[in-house]
Amino acid sequence: MGRAYSFMRLKEGAGSITSLLTILVILLALAGVIEVVRSAYAADKYRRAAWSAAYNLALSPEIWGNENLELALACEVIRTELELSAAFDCGSTWTVDVYTGVSPMNLLHDTSPDPQETHASMVVVEIGWNAMPWSWLSTDSEDIGVRSKVARGVARGEPLD
C-alpha cells in the first residue's frame, strides 16, 4: 500500500495516470467512430441487396402474386448479393417483405397496392434486421422480432398491359 501511495504522489505517477485516462478517452472516441462506420456500411450493404432483389423481381412479372415464388427469388438474390451460403434462410434472421404491383401513388401515399391495377409495375423489397449498436452487447430475447433497421429497394418493371 505504501508503494502505491508514493507512486501516485510523485509527479511521474500522476503523469502516468493522466496518460492512461487520456488514452482511455481516445479509445472510447475511436470505438464510437468505428461503430458509426460499421453501421453505415451494413445499412448500405443491405440497401444494395434490397435494390438488387427488387430489380430481379421487376424483371419477372410472371411470378407476381405468388408470394412463395416472390420470397424465394428475393432471398436467392439477397444471398447472392451478400455472398451468403445457399443454405442460409432469409426469414430466420431478417424479415423480408415483397410488394409487387406498386404504383408511384402507392409509394407517395404509403398505401398498399390495388390488385385491380394492371398498370402498376413497381416492386418494393424491404429487408428488416435488428441492428443493436455495439453488437458485442447481448440482445434481450424479447427484442429479437423487432426490426430496428430497414433497407428498402424499389425498381420499375415492364408494364403488365
Reported pTM:
0.70
Judge whether 48 and 81 are in contact, CB under 8 Å. Answer: yes
pLDDT of residue 103: 76
The C-alpha atoms of residue 122 and residue 132 are separated, in whole angstroms, by 31
pLDDT in tens, 67-88: 899 999 999 999 999 988 888 8
* pLDDT tens-digit map of 50-69: 999 999 998 888 888 888 99
Q: What is the pLDDT of residue 132?
A: 64
CA angle 86, 39, 55 (to 5 degrees): 50
Q: Which helix (H) or strand (E) holds 51?
A: helix 11-58
Cα 139 to chain centroid, rounded: 16
Which single residue is written with the C-alpha cell 405468388? 66
| Residue whose entry in the numeric block shows the C-alpha cell 402498376 | 120
- Residues of the chain where predicted confidence (pLDDT) is lower than 50: 136-141, 144-145
Q: How confident is the model at residue 139, as a pLDDT? A: 45
